[in-house]
Amino acid sequence: MRFLCDNTGPITPATEKPVPDNAPWITYRPEIKVLDCTLRDGGLVTNSHFSDDFAKALYDTCLEAGIDMMEVGYRNSPDAFPEPKYGKWRHSREEDLRRVFGDHDAARTGLTLSAMVDAGGKSDWRKHDVPASESVLGLMRVACYVHQISEAVEMVHHYHELGYETTINVMAISIVGSAELAQALEVAARTPTGTLVVVDSFGNLYREQVDQLVQLYQAAAGDGRHVGIHAHNNLQLAFANTIEAIILGCNRADASMMGLGRGAGNCPMELLLGWLRNPKFKLRPVLKFIQEQILPLRARYDWGPSAPYYITGLYNQHPRAAIAMREGPAPDEYVEFYDSTTAEL
């Protein structure tokens, strides 16, 4: 279990002294690795339109803050997600990545770059043939709905043959029956994937449900792979659920800068890094990035907890109706939205 901090005193700021990960006196879990999904899940807010400067500043922030993984975007098909409606971070082409991240070296920097690939015709994954040794990416995260698990398995094998690490992220699990989910996890656990990620797409889960799901995923993952957590903030529980998963033993956690992500957003990176006790994590560069790069986005985009996203989360629905309502002419008509959401419940 992560170091349980003493509630009677302030948190000691991170020391600059390098700490050997295997020191017997370590009071944190060095195995915990954090993934920044700002460009990827935030791309669902901006249609993946981010400037190169934004992406480079985020990359520099991840390096400074000690973040372990940075998801640069989706690697989706331009046919399914045409430009210019969707920006380049929806496709994550090697040439765009090279231009911004140069000759990124994961081993030297300690930062792994990842992209998300969707099943179900959203990505032309069979055409992806750049091996990991020639890519700035080291990790492909395979996202699927539960009925697409067979394709996800093929995708995992495809990317492992190319030398990438992978994760399997079954989405929208709060509307999946437990028997079906268990089957999907059993299938996923037969692949060479390194991580099974608990994904609360609708932001519907609270602690007791997170407990059950993490235990289910841990049983499927066994000793050979990790369990991760990807939370949404509809019920203002994204950070709490991420903490909970970590307390239960999850060593992979997603977060984004100021929670930038679809609808109510994700677990805010600043909260997660402040809570983790590994002194390699630095809060200051994250706050700087938020101040300089995220706050300006607030004027143009809507994300983060508000009543409409709360209502879809509570009633376990996709946030699309809430997103449309927030982008429409009456973003504060909470009661009307509540009535329409619950009309047939």
Residue in this structure with the two tokens 């990317």, named with its chain if needed: 159
Q: Is 182 in the site for its own copies (CB under 8 A)?
A: no
Task: CB nearer to its own copies: give 51 or 178.
Answer: 178
Q: How far is the CB of 181 from its own copies (least distance, A)?
A: 9
Structure token pair of residue 204: 């519907």
Q: Pick from 212, 219, 327, 340: which binds its own copies (CB under 8 A)?
A: 212
Q: Is 248 in the site for its own copies (CB under 8 A)?
A: no
Dihedral sign of CA atoms 43, 45, 50, 53 in order: negative
Site map for its own copies, 3-42, x if CB under 8 A?
-xx-xxxxxxx-----------------------------
What's the Rg (C-alpha) of the chain?
19
Q: Segment contacting its own copies (CB under 8 A): 60-68, 184-192, 223-231, 240-248?
A: 240-248
* Distance of alpha carbon 306 from alpha carbon 69, whole angstroms: 29
Dihedral sign of CA atoms 22, 70, 262, 181 in order: negative
Q: Segment contacting its own copies (CB under 8 A): 34-42, 90-98, 110-118, 175-183?
A: 175-183
DSSP 80: T
Q: Pick from 177, 215, 320, 340: which binds its own copies (CB under 8 A)?
A: 177
Is the CB of residue 53 less than 8 Å from the CB of residue 99? no
* Distance of alpha carbon 240 from alpha carbon 272, whole angstroms: 9
Structure token pair of residue 154: 């093929």
**Which residues of the shown chain bind its own copies in the complex (CB under 8 A)?**
4-5, 7-13, 174-178, 204-209, 212-213, 233, 235-241, 243-244, 247, 268, 270-271, 274-275, 283-284, 287-288, 290-291, 295, 307, 310-311, 314-317, 332-335, 338-339, 342, 345
